[in-house]
A and B are shown apart, each in its own frame.
Chain A
Amino acid sequence: MAVNPLMKPLKPDTKMTINPELPITFSRTHRLQWEEAQQKHVILYPEGMVELNQSSAEILKLCDGSRNLAQIVSELEQKFATVGLTNDVTAFLEVATQNGWINQN
């Protein structure tokens, strides 16, 4: 959602990948926030908003600069008493990187 409904992002075709070694940090120029009116988490950034489903929000909340990919996966698997989340989490974090929601510097 952008302030101007005519706005379309020119998205690069380059695919960005996650470095498994480095910790992952939520972007300091975005805000992750619970929205009472929508009963969901959203990412807020200049003139835009992304509505998150529960899974995405759970992943992003762990991106606090203290965990790398494996640690995030392991924590989620523990929290939700399940296994085999690596592929789904990696795929989502790649999308998140591409969109600038997280970074690894």
Chain B
Amino acid sequence: MAGLIKTNPTTPLRAGPTTSLRAGPTTSLRAGITPPRWLLAELTYACPLQCPYCANPIDYANYQAELSTEDWKRVLTQARKMGAVQLGFSGGEPLTRKDLTELVKHARDLGYYSNLITSGYGLTEERIIQLKEAGLDHIQVSIQASSQELNDHIAGTASFEHKKEVARLVKKHGYPMVLCVVIHRENIHQMAEILAMAEELGADYLELANTQYYGWAHANRDLLLPTKEQFEQAEAIAQAFKETVAGKMKIYYVVPDFYEDRPKACMNGWGTTFLTIAPDGVALPCHSARELPGLDCPNVNDYSVEEIWNESKAFNFFRGVEWMKEPCRSCDEKEKDFGGCHCQAYLLTGDMYNADPVCSKSPDHGVIAQAIDAAAASALSANEKPLIFRNSKNSRLLS
């Protein structure tokens, strides 16, 4: 596109703010700090499902407090002013919040692109219409498997037919429909059927999310982690399928990092893009960061989003490369992956300053092979321990 338009435009480029809420100066940033673009609003930890790979913290039951409607509105306004534009309403199950429509309306007035990330459980046609009118842009429905039996087993709740119906209604009411399926050892053999189901439901996007092993998934890893062969077979099926749905459905694939040589660029760089607000108002640089020790994550009840983003210890913790130890410090790829995922380093090596052990340069890389071997052994074992489902009782037991 460079050089396309050779003269200066004669008309002003700016479309101008669409509502008064969007007006006003944008806030200033400290040197070297980029503004948040993505705000993940975890409205609640309450959820009717019990998925054993839930990304919520294991000890979520200890955090009962929830921000009020006015608190959320203030947070949305402050983050938008800084430049956040993508907004995810998540949880838990965000539909359990009675003020969801009101928050969606507020977000739309501010100019956010709003994504509802839901299990679909309890979503009625009436509410789908109501949310659309309030300005919701997109609904992502998760389905746990391509068969009722497995879906309902993994979800811990009979929900398969209802989810499929919700997916159809989402489509019917003109939303882009995103189907999200978390992939793990229990359902990876269904890849072909999952793809066919997404096509049959008319999904515009399909997210095939290989499980990331934090939170509940870490606790259940031996039962969830597939073998390399299973991954490769499933990915080959998805790769072949994408051609048949070109122009109709986009497929996104979340990389299974245990089988990669290099770690993921955690959160696109700590404190560069993503801001998560937990149900009780704690601001997190990543939705798993609550697991990390000593971050002292600030609360939006005590500080503005701007103060939190710019000044807080938590958000500055892993900014840049100064914090790094070897082998990251002298690595020529450190600006590319930022040392990988700190939660993974912490969970697998006990030290969050270590390189993500997924990296083949990490002295702890062997723990990945051990985890893979342990999962394979568990799969073959005659008395494999059962999955730990995500619910308040288990949360209290484990925390």
Shortest distance from the beta carbon of B173 to any chain A beta carbon, whole Å = 12
A26, B138: Cα distance in complex, Å: 17
A11, B246: Cα distance in complex, Å: 8
Q: Are A49 and B86 in contact (CB under 8 A)?
A: yes
Q: Which of B228-276 contact A (CB under 8 A)?
A: 238-239, 242-243, 245-247, 250-255, 257, 264-268, 273
Best-surrounded residue of B6, B17, B86 (most CB of chain A within 10 A): B86
Q: Are B13 and A80 in contact (CB under 8 A)?
A: no
Residue in B9, B246, B252, B266 whose CB lies within 8 Å of A8: B252
Q: Are B4 and A89 in contact (CB under 8 A)?
A: yes
The segment out of B35-43, B69-77, B186-194, B305-313 that lies at the interface is B35-43
Residue in A44, A46, A53, A56 whose CB lies within 8 Å of B140: A46
A80 in contact with B273 given A31-B137, A37-B35, A53-B1 (CB within 8 Å): no
Residues of B within 8 A of A47 (CB): 86, 88, 115, 138, 140, 178
A60, B66: Cα distance in complex, Å: 42
Q: Which of B1-23 contact A (CB under 8 A)?
A: 1, 3-7, 9-11, 13-17, 22
Residue in A3, A34, A81, A82 whose CB lies within 8 Å of B15: A34
Q: Are B253 and A88 in contact (CB under 8 A)?
A: no
Q: How many residues of A contact B (CB 8 A)?
A: 49
Indicate if B212 sits at the interface (CB-CB under 8 A): yes
Best-surrounded residue of B137, B175, B257 (most CB of chain A within 10 A): B137
Q: How many residues of B contact A (CB 8 A)?
A: 61
Residue in B1, B40, B247, B273 whose CB lies within 8 Å of A1: B273
Residues of B within 8 A of A6 (CB): 212, 254-255, 257, 264
A37, B34: Cα distance in complex, Å: 11
Shortest distance from the beta carbon of A35 to any chain B beta carbon, whole Å = 6
Q: Are A5 and B243 in contact (CB under 8 A)?
A: no
Best-surrounded residue of B11, B113, B174, B254 (most CB of chain A within 10 A): B113
Interface residues, chain B, with chain A CB atoms under 8 Å away? 1, 3-7, 9-11, 13-17, 22, 26, 35, 37-38, 40, 81-83, 85-86, 88, 111, 113, 115, 137-138, 140, 174-176, 178, 204-205, 207, 209, 212, 238-239, 242-243, 245-247, 250-255, 257, 264-268, 273
Chosen A-B contacts, 13 in total, with CB atoms closer than 8 Å, are A6-B254, A10-B238, A10-B250, A10-B252, A11-B242, A14-B243, A31-B137, A33-B15, A37-B85, A46-B138, A46-B178, A46-B205, A85-B5
